Amino acid sequence: MTASPDIKSANHMWGGRFAEGPDAIMQAINASIGFDKRLYAQDIAGSRAHAAMLAATGIITPSDAEAIGEGLLTVLSEIETGAFPFRTDLEDIHMNVENRLKEIVGTPAGRLHTARSRNDQVAVDFRLWVRDQCDAAIAGLTLLMRAFVAQAEAGADWVMPGFTHLQTAQPVTWGHHMLAYVEMFARDRSRFEDARQRMNECPLGAAALAGTGFAIDRQMTARALGFDRPTANSLDSVSDRDFALEFLAASSICAMHLSRFAEELVIWSSAQFRFVRLSDKWTTGSSIMPQKKNPDAAELLRAKIGRILGATVALFTVMKGLPLTYSKDMQEDKEQVFDAADTLMLCLAAMTGMVGDMTANRAVLAAAAASGFSTATDLADWLVRELGLPFREAHHVTGTLVALAEAKGCDLPDLSIAEMCAVHPGINPSVYSVLGVENSVRSRQSYGGTAPDQVRAQVARWQKALA
């Protein structure tokens, strides 16, 4: 009787094809256990579901399935308590778990790999892990949106300058500005929700690439692992990582939105703006300048998109030229996704903390809202509405008045009626009713506008949606 090779030998996983073990450098470049051990929970969940299905379909005995299931729980406990001996010579999380399982339960462990391959095994592990990250991102974004909604509710009628080109454009409300980011992050959340729905198909059972001749029940394993259905094509099941790419793409867009608000925080907290105050929790000092209070957390958040977008480009580059089906290149699919997911969750938590903790300087916001001729558009609209001027003529008249005020070193409300009538004789004292920033924002009553009533309506809508 020929003895079975010891599963502890790296050659065993390749069968009898290789007479010698791998070179040390080959082993180093080939092994993935240094990073794919993060998939341990998903790997064990997939194996337990697979073993239960093999027993239910009569491919292995119930007693073997029970031994495998219990042994895998022991492995899980060892990993979670730090007692598990990860081994580089066993390459990856799959073989590390299976080797330890054999040490615990003996012969039944060798039956676990029936009707599957490491190709479909890693596909299901990674898909489960990315699905969990989508759930985490959705939860993190929900908390962040609530923080912005709370700011919007508090400042629904606080006036501040709205900008285009970072130049004063029209007055808006603080609440309106906060809700702009709620809308952005809501779209980010929906992208993760959409990605999760698309990826929620189970590749387990595709085996190496062609399926299996065993009478397995893929519906059963899909249900056990919380998938909507099994994947419909075995070649596609093991060869694509578009679910990870979609997660990275959604993460990149979300990180871009985080970076935009981080930039605003950097500007707003400067001595030149003083729009907001960040607490000591989110700022640092200087080693030489005692007066400094640097918005380092915001600056770091502004930079983090580089890592996340870099991960997206890296995985696209790995996948772009691969023929069907599995290639070892795809081992390079995980590290950048792990890093991007970790980075995104850190950024979401930090931004939620900063938004919840920041204090807006209402007086400074109001003063800035009234500067820079921010009600010029209101004046042009008044000329159209009250005097019947074509908008282009009203635009020209208003521009002339702005130039006059600028030359005098004053703002539009400081011009006298006589000075305004010299530009257009139809202007009368009622024009001053539209030159105040409070009146300006109250007039923007169109749906989605900056009027406080509109802002409060949107706050109520989001509070209900996020409850």
Q: Is 165 a catalytic residue?
A: yes
Instruction: Report how far apart, in Å, the C-alpha atoms of 161 and of each of 40, 168, 177, 355, 405 are.
Output: 51, 6, 10, 19, 19
| 8 Å CB contact between 230 and 222 | yes
Query: Which two tokens mark 185?
Result: 């992050």
Radius of gyration in angstroms for the set of CA atoms belonging to the chain, rounded to a whole number? 31
> Could you say which of 4, 165, 430, 446 is catalytic?
165
Active site (annotated) includes residue 177? no
> Backbone phi, then psi, for 270, in 5-degree steps?
-75, 160
Question: What does the alpha-carbon distance between residue 270 and residue 375 come to, in Å, rounded to a whole number?
Answer: 25
Q: Which long-range contacts (CB under 8 A, 24 or more apart) does 297-302 make?
A: 297/350, 297/354, 298/262, 298/263, 298/265, 298/266, 298/269, 298/354, 299/262, 299/266, 300/350, 301/258, 301/259, 301/262, 301/347, 301/350, 301/351, 302/259, 302/262, 302/263, 302/266
55 is written with which tokens?
Answer: 């027993």
In degrees, rounded to 5, the angle at the alpha carbon of residue 182 between the alpha carbons of residues 264 and 280 is 45
Provide φ and ψ at 322, rounded to 5°: -85, 125
The rounded distance, in Å, linking the Cα atoms of 173 and 402 is 23
Q: Is the separation of the CB atoms in 435 and 412 below 8 Å?
A: yes
Token pair, residue 199, equals 């990826």
* Catalytic pick among 9, 63, 270, 286: 286
Q: State whether the Cα torsion 210-216-217-218 is positive or negative.
A: negative
- Residues 219 and 232: beta-carbon distance below 8 Å: no
Report yes or no: 366 and 354 within 8 Å, Cβ to Cβ: no
How many angstroms separate the CA atoms of 132 and 64, rounded? 30
Q: How far apart are CA 123 and CA 331, in angstroms?
A: 11
Spatial contact of 175 and 157, defined as CB atoms under 8 Å apart = yes
Active-site residues, by number, are 165, 286
